[in-house]
Structure 1
Amino acid sequence: MDYGSEPRRSGSFSRISSTNSSFRRHSFNQVGAVHHEVDDDSDCRSVSEAGDIGDRALHSKRYSGSGRPRFSFDNNGENVVVPIQEHPFKESQLPTASPASPDTLLHDQGQNKECKKELPWFMTYISSRVHLAVLGILGVLTRYLLEKLFGPEVVGATSDQSYMYVDLAPNMVGSFLMGWFGVVYKGDISKFSPELAVGLTTGYLGSLTTFSGWNQKMLELSADGDWVFAVLGFLLGLFLVAYSFMFGVETAKGLKWAFNRTNLSSKCGFSVVNTIMSQSILIVVMITLLGSLWGVSVALLTKDFDHDSSTSHLWLGCIIGPIGVWIRFYLARLNGQGLGRTEMIKWMPFGTLIANVVAACIMAAMATMKKAVTNNHFGIVATGIQFGLCGCLSTVSTFIAEFGAMRESKHPWQAYVYALTTIIISFSLGTLIFSVPVWTKGWT
């Protein structure tokens, strides 16, 4: 696509790399080789933190808790790498000063002072976790609906016996939306509410997509001897979610460009007075919504547990799903930190990697136990853990955002090393936990 006078390039993040790389090369060539190392270090951290950095994102109320550069977009929809807490403007975009009366200045100063008020740390802590839980449950429900819609019962595009696995549609939709809310509009949403921005990406999109479900379906295909389908499932799945993410970024950029071009953003804009009162009301609303969602889920689980196993796992998944979201949220603080005191391999998002691998292992263990234990109630509990806890602990949307950032960085090979590392470790451990017992016991 071509928006305005922007030069055409391939890839969703190509302008991110080219714009800043040329600037840095020009600057750093004048100050010596030491700064090249600093630039490489920042680039490694940037690609590793492209998806999520957990509670570090909330400490600064912006999306670069350490002040390091992150992938973002400016007001014209142009891709740049900037510290997200700073709002980049071109010189021509800066507002022109106009005469103002003393009363107006005092009013503005008072309003700015009011806007700077923040909740106590414990209320901010509660708010962020409640946002994650509520939006995580909504992500679980959306994933279930998409699985049913595109599954064999309705559209028939996906199935358990095909490389077009049942979680493919949720993974594609979540990756597409990650391009919108996790890249292009993330900074805009964070100005309204940092907790909402984190809740949408880490909570909703992270729970809508699932890496553990994807890995488990490939394990089941391989255990049945369908190795070609298993390989195709990984290759085709990675291709489709990657391009869904890229399409999401491009369409969001196009809409943002159209709004800026027609000045609709200023006409339709709104101002948010981020006072303690407004934040407190939002917390009360979200806590009420969380209580309602949990209450309804418990009531429906109690009602269906002995009579309808087809939906019981969904309600159990809604109850325990937030636990998976919270664990992944805390693990995300490892992204961009590297290993050991020397912080080796900073480009590898270890938080996301650990979350996906652990969830895949738990998913495989539950599948093995369901083979060994034929009790119907145990099957419901195990399926609920798989669908809720594992589905929310693992994520494809964050994984593919990190993959896309690495692919368009100065070291594109890192993207494929990261993807292969995640898939190979998860599939290998899953084979030991699930496939080997299936083969040795002769389970079908």
Structure 2
Amino acid sequence: MSTSSRTTTADEKSMEESKNSVGSYLMEHWVLPVLGITAYAMLGTASRIAITDGTKGGDFFSSYSYFAANCLGSFVMGLMNGIPDLKKKTPGFHQGVTVGYCGCFTTFSSWIYAIVKAPSPDVGAVEFLTGMSMPFISWLFGNDIGAAFVDLTKDHKPWITDKAWYLIDQALVVFPYVFTALLFPLIATQGVFPPASVYASLLSPLGAIPRWISSTYLNSLWPQFPLGTFVANVLAVAFDGILMGAAPGNTFAGYCITGIGGSWSTVSSFVNDTFNLYRKHWEGERSVAKNKFWVYWYLTVSVGISLAIAAIVHACTK
């Protein structure tokens, strides 16, 4: 075989390997995450709407309508992150649940507007205080349950192979598509779930995917401040405010506020970021004072700027 033939063969092999590596990268870092987040985002938004509508009858939940959703979503987020093996063995499912389901089950922008548009100052104050405390307690409770499960099962020998875990992960990513395809038309036609809620749920990936992108690429830029989550929450507050002012009472705008804005913002990731800052190690050491400073800075800036935007929008659209 001539030298030129060997060179051509080597080049072709190199190009093939390059294509395979690019394909694997796209599949692992874009295709599967987007598929998982999209599916679980719709379920998360549907769950938020269902629990918000279902708890409106009580005196407490009539005033604090997003309390239950934000607490339950934060609990699930804490539970998932309390079991590290889930992220290693089922990355698609873990990302789908934490980013898609929990991120859309909870809503930061709707909570901010619930504070600003509260019927009285005392209701707004309680909305603020419960929102700044109970989701954090719920996350911690879920995380403790996950950690306890890990501790109780640490001596058990694994009986599921890596290949089986891979197949389970793929199935758990695909399952929500089958579930929503069967469930949404059924519950909408039977009157269990209003068609408006289905439309809002179908729009939710348009909020969840930008949030995932901003968190993936911006959170690591400044370790002391999760910039991606902050940007997503602030933009969602502005997005909701613009729609409220530009198209008050418009049906499609309502779908977008609930589906896109409610999913673009997130309380569960906001809470998760806060606990991650508490546990952060700076240059190999953990500084309690430094961690607490950045925690309170993150909380103050995130909530303060969001409230300011919402207050300005509300004042201009009264």
TM-score, normalised by the number of residues in structure 1: 0.58
- 2:207 alignment counterpart: 324
Pair 1:300–1:367, CA change in 2 (3 A): farther
Q: How far off is 1:192 after superposition?
A: 2.1
Shift in Å at residue 191 of structure 1? 2.7
Where do 5+ consecutive residues of structure 1 fail to align? Answer: 1-116, 339-345, 439-444
Q: Deviations over 1:252-309 (max 9, x none)?
A: 222322233xx4x437x42231699x48x937x84575377368657987x79xxx8x
Query: Structure 1 residue 244: deviation in Å?
Result: 1.1
For 1:289 and 1:252, the matched residues in 2 are separated by 23
Q: Which of the residues 60, 75, 87 maps onto 1:176?
A: 75
Question: Identity over the aligned pairs, expressed in percent?
Answer: 20
Aligned to 2:243: 366
Matched, 1:352 2:235: no
Q: Distance in 2 between matches of 1:427 and 1:407?
A: 24
- C-alpha distance 286-414 of structure 1, shift in aligned 2 (>3 A): closer
TM-fit CA distance, 1:347:
0.6
Coordinate RMSD, CA, aligned = 3.0
Q: 1:239: which partner in 2?
A: 133
Confirm whether residue 272 of structure 1 aligns to residue 166 of structure 2.
no
Please tell me whether residue 282 in structure 1 is matched to residue 185 in structure 2.
Answer: no
Cα distance in 2 for partners of 1:189, 1:319 equals 27
Which residue matches 2:107? 210
Letter in 2 for 1:435: A
For 1:334-349, list aligned pairs within 5 A.
334-338=218-222, 346-349=223-226
Residues 33-432 of structure 1: pairs in structure 2 closer than 5 A: 120-124=24-28, 125-152=30-57, 155-159=58-62, 162=63, 165-181=64-80, 183-185=81-83, 187-221=84-118, 224=119, 226-260=120-154, 263=155, 265-266=156-157, 269-273=159-163, 278=167, 282=170, 286=173, 289-290=176-177, 293=180, 297=184, 311-332=194-215, 333-338=217-222, 346-371=223-248, 374=249, 378=250, 380-409=251-280, 410=287, 411=290, 412-432=292-312
Question: C-alpha distance in 1, partners of 2:185/2:245?
Answer: 26
- Per-residue CA shift, 1:406-431, capped at 9, x if unaligned? 24552202111111111111111112
Instruction: Report the Cα distance in structure 2 between the residues aligned to 1:313 and 1:270, rounded to whole angstroms.
Output: 42
Distance 1:427 1:190, change over 3 A: same
In 1, Cα distance between equivalents of 2:315 and 2:181: 35
Aligned-partner Cα distance in 1 for 2:138–2:200 = 26
Tell me if the contact between 2:82 and 2:142 (Cα under 8 Å) persists in the aligned partners. no
The gaps in structure 2 that reach 5 residues or longer are 1-20, 281-286
The whole-number CA distance in structure 2 between the counterparts of 1:200 and 1:119 is 24
Amino acid of the residue matched to residue 97 of structure 2?
L
Distance 1:349 1:210 in 2: 17
Deviations 1:6-32 (A, max 9, x none): xxxxxxxxxxxxxxxxxxxxxxxxxxx
| Secondary structure at 2:163 match in 1 | coil
User: Is the CA contact 1:297–1:316 (under 8 Å) kept in the aligned structure 2?
Assistant: no
Q: Which residue does 1:9 correspond to in 2?
A: none
- Which runs of structure 1 show a deviation greater than 4 angstroms over 4 or more consecutive aligned residues? 285-289, 294-301
> Would you say the 8 A contact 1:407–1:415 is kept in 2?
yes
Amino acid at match of 2:270: F
Q: What is the DSSP-based 3-state SS (H/G/I as helix, E as strand, rest coil) of the residue aligned with 1:158?
A: helix
Letter in 1 for 2:107: T
- Seen in structure 2, the aligned counterparts of structure 1 residues 251 and 287 have a Cα distance that, compared at 3 Å, is closer
How many correspondences in the alignment?
287
Structure of larger gyration radius: 1
Given that 1:130 and 1:290 are in contact with CA atoms closer than 8 Å, whether structure 2 keeps it comes out as: no
SS at match of 2:145: helix
Secondary structure at the aligned position of 1:120 is classed as helix
